[in-house]
Amino acid sequence: MSAFTADIFNFAPMPSFDTYPILYWLPVYVLCWGSLWLATNGKISERTFLVAVTVLLFLLRLPSIVYNYEINPDESQMITQAMTLRQDPVYFRSVDGTTGGPLDSYFLILPGLIGLPFDYITAHLTAFGLVALSFWFLFQTTKRWFGSMAARVAFLPFVFTFGLTQNGDFLHYNSELVPLALLSGSYYLYALLLARRKPSLWHIALIGLLLGMVPFGKLQAVPLAGIVGLFVGIDILMRPEQSTSAKVVQIGALVVGSVFFPLLVVGLAKLNGVYDDFVTFYIIGNFKYANNSDPVQNLLRLPDFFKKGSEFDWLVKLTLGIWLVGLIYSLRQGNKAQTDTLKVNGFIGVLLAATLYAITRTGSEYVHYLYLLTGPLFFVLGFGWQRLGINEGRNRWATVGIMAVFLLVFGIQAGLNHRRGIAINAYPSDQQHGWAVQPSPVSKAVLTYAKPGEKLVVWGWRCDYYVQTQMPQGVAENHTIRSAFEHPLQDIYQRRYLSNFIRSFPPVFVDAVGSQNLWMTDRRTHGYEMIKPLKNFVNAHYRYVGLVNDTRIYVRTDRVETTRRDTLAFSEN
């Protein structure tokens, strides 16, 4: 942390939110009602509206932003990976994000360049920034396709849903956010492309560059990137005013832009000797992930999937309702679709289908997958409001009434939860004692024998120990699900784990399998001893020092002796 940033954290008061921050929640909720006026008042400038709703989104998410604990285990995984890459920047040598791509971890290094620590507040703040950026792109795209007022009214439900929700999957730093920002940017560039008679090669190449980066944020988002690339190519080929040679050059620019980043990654992987790891652990490993899932059954489970997203289910129902009512209204008015409108609607329809496939393919139904659906939903909602004539001032009071009911449901839910004793704020920060991450008993025990900056290895899924100790991971797979659970590549993962362990030779090794672990609770079946060479290596070079919070702690033999001598010297003085 830089001296300037450290001073800010030392002197700035720590915002403190308990489980019932009524004095904060009520004024911010009132601001939500004020945003209805901003959205439907044509005299308010677009810039004022965007700044206001972005600030509102920040205020709504502030309690979770300053919550310096793990909201979801995934964010501990990615914070640790970023911290490790800061020391050793070669991905697949020092870090393997499993289903998350390299860009998710590298992006978390950027806040550190301005002095922010590798902790949960930084991750939550970064998550907000990516969400706000994505929503800005989606707003701009919707405005170009369906008009300014339709875009404004479409924006509000997303602010309410992703601001007022207490569902941690929408508040933590997750692997969908970087690809979401890249995809949202590509949607906006595609909208600009449709509006230009002679698009520049740089514009087309930039679209390709963003699409080529998407797989390295999340492979799951590749179908969405493919749809954008497909429609950009179709638009280029269908322009009658352009010559065949001009179209060939533009398609070439799209292809070159799309392959530039993947080729750069492959080149760097080969240069650093990790190309085989890239293919094995990122490509093959992830394509084998949940590959026995039934796609038809997964699609049929969509209603239940949406319900897991809490308030997201309301957003889906609102979107479908407005789309249907708007479509019926416009047909009764006799409105005819234009060619450009058909292009846009075709793109949105195919994009929506591809997104539904992408988020249901694995059958895992992790709620944060739903982030990828925000783009298509934003566009469908904008379409519905446009068809209702909101841009021409028609149905304004009906629009205000619908949005008021949607917002009122959040207030009613909060009131009912309060009466039932359910926390309004699920992320209380009133016991954090300042800005720093609070160490657990396990982390305190680790720091007895090691210090921040040294390597740590944790067997199991407790990546928060890395964050609490500020110790980078000593093995590429900082959670050991793929080493511990049976699957086709388990033996390969185990061999790499052992190799990484011996290479880093950490001063402390933690076997977190037990009652405090995620998914791995039985030491008989999932303890580190399941890898016999690892067991032998630990027995030869480490000493078991005790059980803390049902977690076994092993210390390298030389470090045990050093710590003992230091303790004796200190006591003698």
Do 154 and 382 form a contact (C-beta atoms < 8 A)? Answer: yes
Predicted confidence at residue 372, as pLDDT, reads 98
Are both 356 and 407 inside the same structural domain? yes
478: amino acid identity, one letter: N
pLDDT in tens, 302-340: 999 999 999 999 999 999 999 999 999 888 876 665 556
Are both 181 and 94 inside the same structural domain? yes
Closest to 121 (Cα-Cα) out of 374, 129, 519: 129
Q: Is residue 378 part of a domain?
A: yes
For the chain, helix (H) and strand (E) counts, in that order, are 27, 4
Do 397 and 157 form a contact (C-beta atoms < 8 A)? Answer: no
- Give the residue with greater pLDDT, 112 vs 5: 112
Predicted confidence at residue 336, as pLDDT, reads 60
Are both 194 and 99 inside the same structural domain? yes
Predicted confidence at residue 194, as pLDDT, reads 95
pLDDT in tens, 198-213: 889 999 999 999 999 9
pLDDT in tens, 509-519: 999 999 988 88
**Could you give the number of structural domains in the chain?**
2
Predicted confidence at residue 139, as pLDDT, reads 98
Q: Is residue 435 part of a domain?
A: no
Closest to 66 (Cα-Cα) out of 176, 171, 138, 159: 171
Dihedral sign computed on CA atoms, order 162, 165, 169, 173? positive
Range with lowest mean pLDDT among 1-15, 171-185, 215-229, 366-380 = 1-15
Range with lowest mean pLDDT among 357-371, 409-423, 558-572 = 558-572
Strand partners, 508: 456, 555
Question: CA-based angle 282:107:96, to the nearest 5?
Answer: 25
pLDDT in tens, 109-147: 999 899 999 999 999 999 999 999 999 999 999 999 999
Are both 458 and 562 inside the same structural domain? yes
Q: Choose one of 362, 384, 419: the last residue of a domain.
A: 419
Predicted confidence at residue 392, as pLDDT, reads 87
Q: Is residue 429 part of a domain?
A: no
Are both 65 and 195 inside the same structural domain? yes
Pairing of strands 551-556, 542-548: antiparallel
Are both 462 and 385 inside the same structural domain? no
Are both 53 and 99 inside the same structural domain? yes
Do 542 and 555 form a contact (C-beta atoms < 8 A)? Answer: yes
Q: Choose one of 389, 419, 449: the last residue of a domain.
A: 419
What SS3 state is found at 547? Answer: strand
Range with lowest mean pLDDT among 268-277, 338-347, 448-457 = 338-347
Residue 1 pLDDT level (bands cut at 50, 70, 90): very low
Task: Give the residue-averaged pLDDT of 171-183.
Answer: 97
Closest to 30 (Cα-Cα) out of 499, 291, 513, 408: 408
| Res. 571: pLDDT tops 70 | no
Question: CA-based angle 447:544:439, to the nearest 5?
Answer: 25
Are both 152 and 221 inside the same structural domain? yes
Do 435 and 14 form a contact (C-beta atoms < 8 A)? Answer: yes
- Which residues are CB-contacts of 36 (< 8 A; sequence separation ≥ 6)? 156, 400, 403, 404, 407
- Give the residue with greater pLDDT, 396 vs 127: 127
| Res. 570: pLDDT tops 70 | no
pLDDT in tens, 353-378: 999 999 998 888 999 999 999 999 99
Are both 386 and 480 inside the same structural domain? no
Q: Is residue 433 part of a domain?
A: no
Q: Is residue 515 part of a domain?
A: yes
Task: Give the residue-averaged pLDDT of 542-562.
Answer: 94
Predicted confidence at residue 292, as pLDDT, reads 63
Are both 479 and 378 inside the same structural domain? no
| Res. 572: pLDDT tops 70 | no
What SS3 state is found at 548? Answer: strand
Task: Give the residue-averaged pLDDT of 244-265.
Answer: 97
The b-or-e profile of 498-510 (16+ CB within 10 A means b, else e) is bebbeebebbbbb
% pLDDT > 90, the chain:
81
Q: Which domain holds residue 482?
A: 441-572
Predicted confidence at residue 418, as pLDDT, reads 83
Question: CA-based angle 371:376:290, to the nearest 5?
Answer: 50
